[in-house]
Amino acid sequence: MIVVTGAAGFIGSCLVSRLNQAGYDHIVVVDDFSKREKDHNLEGKTFDAKVERSAFFKWLEEFGNKVDIIFHIGARTDTTEFDKSIFDELNVDYSQKMWKACIKHNINLVYASSGATYGLGEFGYKDDHETIEKLIPLNPYGDSKNDFDKWVLAQDEQPPFWAGLKFFNVYGPNEYHKGRMASVIFHTFHQIKENGSMRLFRSHNPDYKDGGQLRDFVYVKDVVEVCMFLMNEEPKNGIYNLGTGKARTFFDLATNTFNALDKEPTISYVDTPADIRDKYQYFTQADMTKLSSEGFNKGFHTLEEGVEDYVKNYLIPGKYY
């Protein structure tokens, strides 16, 4: 049996779909199911049971001996939230309970960390365990993810197999519910549909021109392929970057969205919101050497390929993955 937490969310629901495609039907989906706008993400997918996040550990006491692996994807991911207590509860405390439960029931664990842990990149973007203690995230969300990573590395007891995945800028289908936190592609698509143009954040850093801010954008279909690889191959335990290894500009991102809609790019710029301006990453690029050295060689969608697939096969028809 496979457990996916955050299963009604963006990445979690895509993982459930990919597991179904691979013939895995004995899945237990875990989430806060009170948020009904996420219901569509699980429609048409096959699973054995839905378990509320708050009731999961009680459920695990009864059925833990039947679970082979837990994909702990669920988390509070709002980078504009600055109430540390929220992240401590959902991203640190809950994850620590998950780790201990996996040890108790002898369950493999793959959990979601984040590229946000790297902050301004003062120590680079290499997923060496020795670097993690030094990192300086820019917001409570990044702090919570790094706090859990540090806690994990300090543990003597471990699940039989475990991996933490530092997701970089993930985009793709099933993010309809994410509002402000949805990808720039999602917002670009809707702005183009509404008024034929797109507004990007203006640069407030003299080293980057407007729209020239660089991020490692990774397509969600590639993210779930890495999850499948970890489940099937069980490489070396550890924390792994998960990006493409190639930074691209927001201008490229928006332009490719226009191209996928067969429209000429019309792009303007607005000030970065004051509440995130001094916490804004101008460059991220995952060093993917470790995952590659462990045998993952499927490659990743280019930005052009990913945006075209997302826009034409999901956003335009309003479909889910």
Active-site residues: which are they?
141, 178
> Is there a contact between 235 and 126 (Cβ–Cβ < 8 Å)?
no
CB atoms inside a 10 Å sphere around CB 190: 13
